[in-house]
Amino acid sequence: MVKAAVLYNFGETLKVDTVRLRAPGDDEVVVKLAASGVCHSDLSVQQGRLPFLLPVVLGHEGAGIVEEVGKEVRHLKPGDHVVLSWVENCGRCHYCIAGRTHLCEAMVQSMMAGRGFAFEKNGIQIARMAGVASFAERTVVRATAAIKIPHEVPLDRACLVGCGVMTGVGAAVNTAKVKAGETVAVYGCGGVGLNIIQGAALCGASRIIAVDVAPTKLDLARTFGATDVVSAKDGNAPEQIRALTDGLGVDYAFEAIGLPTVISEAYLSVKRGGKLVVVGMPGVGQMVEIPGYMIAGEEKSVMGSLYGSANTRRDMPWLVELYQRGRLKLDELISKRIELEAVNEALIDMENGTVARTVVVF
């Protein structure tokens, strides 16, 4: 039996419940969680904006220690420290073969086939969010979704690599492939936005303009490498961005909130030939408006970035290594450490935008 935070109905608070964890399949591992970040997508599922099977154990930004491995698992053993990935990198599907492992079909398939159920209570099967379910003392995950990291790296920081850091740094490095000397604007300086900023800094961007409504987040943005900050409260962020870039606009504007109006605004701050990179996820069914003539007339493209276009087994180890060498900030992302029982308060903090990251420590 394990303690886990379960969502029984959309819009309700999570119930910290005692549930039964099933045994691992041949290609799965049992992981004892050490820590889990609380991410915006947890809130989106709780509020019903991202549809998932119910009931579900939330949490998808976890790190922990392998306790048990299935018969076919060769690359992990009990005692290994791992970061959990919410895309599987199965190595067999159309996307994995094409080298686009972040679009791997396995996660969806495993949900459909019922393999997404990892827990049970009173005869009711309980799903695991995104194949992870890190708001639990222990979980079962596919072995390809557990990425081994060195023992020296503290797990309460490593967990952030499992979603926010990969998503943000990867958006700059993998999706946009920002080049040295290029200019960048980042709309939204929460957990993901701060990582886009430090990703753009790693790429050598000459100008990194952070945009947010909260002054505290703009201060934090500077410590992550923003060269300039713009308050979105003044209502004319694209104009302010053009003023900072010789009237041109930026090579890349990143949107890390998922609000259709902000996505439209970010598009307007891109220079001719530049790119809007949408990282935030609007609710299913929401539409985004952009001026049609600019797409061809100014050759401004729109790119999506899912999970930082990650190849998790390639990228997560180098992110951890950068942290170990002092070149990637993780400690500064953590605003609060809590116990699992306080997870609902962490979701409220997330909604109010008062924290970069809250980490549940087990």
Q: What are the residues binding Zn ion (CB under 5 A)?
A: 39, 41, 90, 93, 96, 104, 106, 163
Shortest CB 61 distance to Zn ion, Å: 5
Please, are residues 252 and 185 in contact by the beta-carbon 8 Å criterion?
Answer: yes
What torsion, rounded to 10 degrees, do the Cα atoms 220, 221, 225, 229 define?
Answer: -130
Distance of alpha carbon 287 from alpha carbon 34, whole angstroms: 39
Cis peptide before 154 (omega within 30 of 0): no
Distance of alpha carbon 237 from alpha carbon 298, whole angstroms: 19
Shortest CB 38 distance to Zn ion, Å: 9
Helix (H, G, I), strand (E, B), or coil: what is residue 132?
A: coil
Phi, psi of 29 (to 5 degrees): -135, 150
Shortest CB 180 distance to Zn ion, Å: 29
Distance of alpha carbon 279 from alpha carbon 281, whole angstroms: 6
Q: Which is nearer to Zn ion, 39 or 161 (CB)?
A: 39
Shortest CB 258 distance to Zn ion, Å: 11
Instruction: Write the single-letter amino acid at 275.
Output: K
177 Ramachandran zone, left/alpha/beta (phi>0; psi -120 to 50): left
Q: Which is nearer to Zn ion, 41 or 309 (CB)?
A: 41
Please, are residues 140 and 33 in contact by the beta-carbon 8 Å criterion?
Answer: no
Q: Which is nearer to Zn ion, 238 or 308 (CB)?
A: 308
Beta bridge partners of 5: 16
Shortest CB 123 distance to Zn ion, Å: 31
Q: Which is nearer to Zn ion, 21 or 350 (CB)?
A: 350
Q: Which helix (H) or strand (E) holds 296?
A: helix 292-297
Q: Which is nearer to Zn ion, 42 or 265 (CB)?
A: 42
Q: Which helix (H) or strand (E) holds 164?
A: helix 164-170
Q: Which is nearer to Zn ion, 193 or 274 (CB)?
A: 193
- Smallest CA-to-CA distance from 29 within 79, 97, 101 is with 79
Q: Which is nearer to Zn ion, 144 or 183 (CB)?
A: 144
Compute how many other C-beta atoms are within 10 angstroms of the C-beta atom of residue 286: 12
Helix (H, G, I), strand (E, B), or coil: what is residue 214?
A: coil
Beta bridge partners of 125: 120
Q: Which is nearer to Zn ion, 59 or 249 (CB)?
A: 59
Shortest CB 286 distance to Zn ion, Å: 19
Our measurement of the distance from residue 95's CA atom to the centroid of its chain's CA atoms, rounded to an integer in Å, reads 20
Shortest CB 21 distance to Zn ion, Å: 22
Shortest CB 136 distance to Zn ion, Å: 16
Phi, psi of 28 (to 5 degrees): -120, 165
Q: Which is nearer to Zn ion, 44 or 269 (CB)?
A: 44
Instruction: Write the single-letter amino acid at 58.
Output: L
Shortest CB 103 distance to Zn ion, Å: 8
